[in-house]
Structure 1
């Protein structure tokens, strides 16, 4: 999956065999903008926290309205990318999109598997910076509950899962090749957390964004390879059973020297914990 700088319209993201970093929204067909490139198909039971963000009114029924990814961090709390919920993407403020919902427990977007749950409330990070892409996250409260088994714990600051070289998995329904081949079935890609120094050199500042180690991390392979892509935005990057990142942005998908950039979850834990009953790594299960 590969992303591009925060795009105007969200295109579905898929797992592709390339590594690119671009915000997962684009101005073409109203669909999310990040994809799993160079990845492989998985069943949702292998990553049950992976959910699709959808609006059939806005994006049509071909992909069940999917336009971005998201991740369950509480039984009724979901995390996604702030750029997925811009007015440019949705055509209205997110709390005024009546059919905004998450699709959970579903491998094939067009199957009857799983459930579709309406979004009751949206809180976009007020500190989100569209210029640098820093703080690219939003918290959704659902009008219903997911099973506890679908919830993934969040990794706090200092968790070894953030260490360079750590193997992680990104999952979603985004562009699987970087050429607009959006997946209908869930895909995943294995990547490695990369050193902040490498990421800062790749994105020193410019129209695509600026890498900021305090709020971001990057993952992939320096030589290029599996990556998130259009349509994967807001989806999970999980390492050692804990959520460490959200697909955010990048330049292309799976390209050498341009790894995918993710929102660093440790920076949002303090905001999320009150909403999810302390479901960061090491905290007790449960929903507040």
Structure 2
């Protein structure tokens, strides 16, 4: 399985690294935990299935970072997240696991949410501290079900508009065949080519039946439609990867998923699996 934030056994193509179950994709030499989105190649170059984009255009996309744990390169980024309220960010629960952080989040003095920083090699934007973290008590590290955490910031993020969260009634946003976009700084090749530049990739929401067939149950995880959705392309090549974990999947202007897990990065027959945000919309609403 992906061993860094995106707990995926691989990462997001096209400059995004997504997680495969349980681990956020780490973007530095630090131990990877879950498969987060995969970072990509150097800024400005396109990668398989994705391309560079700007934080100013997508201000709700943020990075989770700790130089102490993951090294100074790329601002210490290891997972992604999405702003859902001025003082709240959603991400994957596995990004806060002991495997990823080497302890509890409170033990990392420099753990930050980084907003408004397109290029992680710069000091642009804001670094905001964390006041508290709520991890869904239903999160199951074995299956990757309910892979959700809500970060409460120690100060609001003015100028970083929250993205609307898809609820159960917003069916058009997450029905099969819907075009969606995933964002992240993760591995762009599945071979540890992490990107310093924010990237995005176009994917399509896949039928639950296809996802269940791809992930019937293994050490990587089990596809459970009530709390998961998957997205990719039938031919592969567009996906999240390590380091993209917790990053947003957006369709029709709404947050529909969070990079969670998967097998490989962009592999045909193995789409990326995401936390189904509509299933946990009421939990998120408590922090908005």
CA, structure 1 residues 66+26, in 2 after alignment: closer, same or farther (shift >3 Å)? closer
The aligned residue for residue 184 of structure 2 is 172
CA, structure 1 residues 135+59, in 2 after alignment: closer, same or farther (shift >3 Å)? same
Is the CA contact 2:6–2:260 (under 8 Å) kept in the aligned structure 1?
no
Shift of 1:267: 1.5
Q: 2:74 aligns with which of 63, 84, 96?
A: 63
**Aligned residue runs from structure 1 range 1-288, under 5 A:** 4-5=1-2, 7=3, 9-10=4-5, 15-17=12-14, 22-23=20-21, 24-25=23-24, 29-31=30-32, 33=35, 34-35=37-38, 38-147=49-158, 149-159=160-170, 160-276=172-288
Distance (whole Å) between structure 2 residues aligned to residue 161 and residue 142 of structure 1? 28
Distance (whole Å) between structure 2 residues aligned to residue 72 and residue 61 of structure 1? 24
CA, structure 1 residues 170+11, in 2 after alignment: closer, same or farther (shift >3 Å)? closer
The aligned residue for residue 284 of structure 1 is none
TM-score, normalising length from structure 1? 0.88
Instruction: Out of 23-32 and 148-157, give the one that drifted further.
Output: 23-32
Distance (whole Å) between structure 1 residues aligned to residue 198 and residue 12 of structure 2? 8
Distance (whole Å) between structure 2 residues aligned to residue 241 and residue 148 of structure 1? 18
SS at match of 1:275: coil
Distance (whole Å) between structure 2 residues aligned to residue 97 and residue 19 of structure 1? 23
SS at match of 2:189: coil
Q: 1:192-220 CA deviation, whole Å, 9 max, x = no partner?
A: 10110110110011111110110000001
CA, structure 1 residues 21+68, in 2 after alignment: closer, same or farther (shift >3 Å)? closer
Shift of 1:26: 6.2
Is the CA contact 1:21–1:251 (under 8 Å) kept in the aligned structure 2?
no
The aligned residue for residue 283 of structure 1 is none
Gaps of 5+ in 1: 277-288
Q: 1:6-43 CA deviation, whole Å, 9 max, x = no partner?
A: x3x44799741499872243696235632165210001
Q: CA RMSD in A?
A: 2.2
TM-score, normalising length from structure 2? 0.88
Q: How many residues align?
A: 271
Gaps of 5+ in 2: 40-47
Shift of 1:124: 1.2
Q: Which runs of 4+ in 1 moved over 4 A?
A: 11-15, 17-21
Distance (whole Å) between structure 2 residues aligned to residue 180 and residue 19 of structure 1? 10
CA, structure 1 residues 144+63, in 2 after alignment: closer, same or farther (shift >3 Å)? same
Distance (whole Å) between structure 1 residues aligned to residue 175 and residue 56 of structure 2? 27
CA, structure 1 residues 238+266, in 2 after alignment: closer, same or farther (shift >3 Å)? same
Distance (whole Å) between structure 2 residues aligned to residue 177 and residue 196 of structure 1? 26
